[in-house]
Amino acid sequence: MKLLLRLSRAIDWLNEHIGRVVLWCVLIMVLVSAANATSRYALNIASNAWLELQWYLFAAVFLLCAGYTFLHNEHIRIDVLNSRLSRRTQIWIDIFGTVVFMLPVTGYIMWLSWPVFMNAWTSGETSMNAGGLIRWPVRLLVPVGFFLLTLQGVSELIKRIAYLNGLIPDPVEHHEDPALEQLHVDEEAQK
């Protein structure tokens, strides 16, 4: 289990750092949007490339931060019934949902999206709009984003199983930095 917890920490570290970097795309997206609107209305100059860049940045934030969101337990949950159950039962429901629903769906989406990316890459697909951007970078975001989400699903599964075995504290509790918190727990266990 120690090896699996190391893998979990590595995945958490990866998604934490990718998430923190990609979050800067929100600022860039706002600046591009403001510049695009200003040039369009104040200078009467419009650009499809700038508009598409906004969409690409939004896609990057949404897709590449999905694993980061899952790591921080900020994803959408419907806890009407789940919140009334014991903590162990909730963890078992999380395990079941991850194994039966999340991992198969994210794997299937990766499998379906890869040929779409490859087609865009090999054909040099570009936007049909005048002055539009190439499409392969945004097409690549789908399999990469779902790969990161799949990795985080594996990490969360490992942490929940370790919690049920009494090896780590509750992985769903909010921690400032889950990867560092887990490292601290492991260091304490080694002492």
What residue spans define the domains of the chain? 2-174
| Residue 68 contacts residue 25 (beta carbons within 8 Å) | no
Q: In this predicted model, what pLDDT tens digit does every residue of 85-113 receive, in sequence order?
A: 888 988 898 899 999 999 999 999 999 99
* pLDDT(179) > 80: no
- Supply the DSSP string of 88-99, one letter for each residue: HHHHHHHHHHII
- In the chain, how many H helices and how many E strands? 8, 0
User: What would the mean pLDDT of 108-135 be, rounded to a whole number?
Assistant: 90
Between CA 160 and CA 175 the distance in angstroms is 15
Q: What is the percentage of the chain residues whose pLDDT exceeds 70? A: 90
User: What would the mean pLDDT of 64-80 be, rounded to a whole number?
Assistant: 84
- pTM assigned to the model: 0.82
User: What would the mean pLDDT of 13-34 be, rounded to a whole number?
Assistant: 92
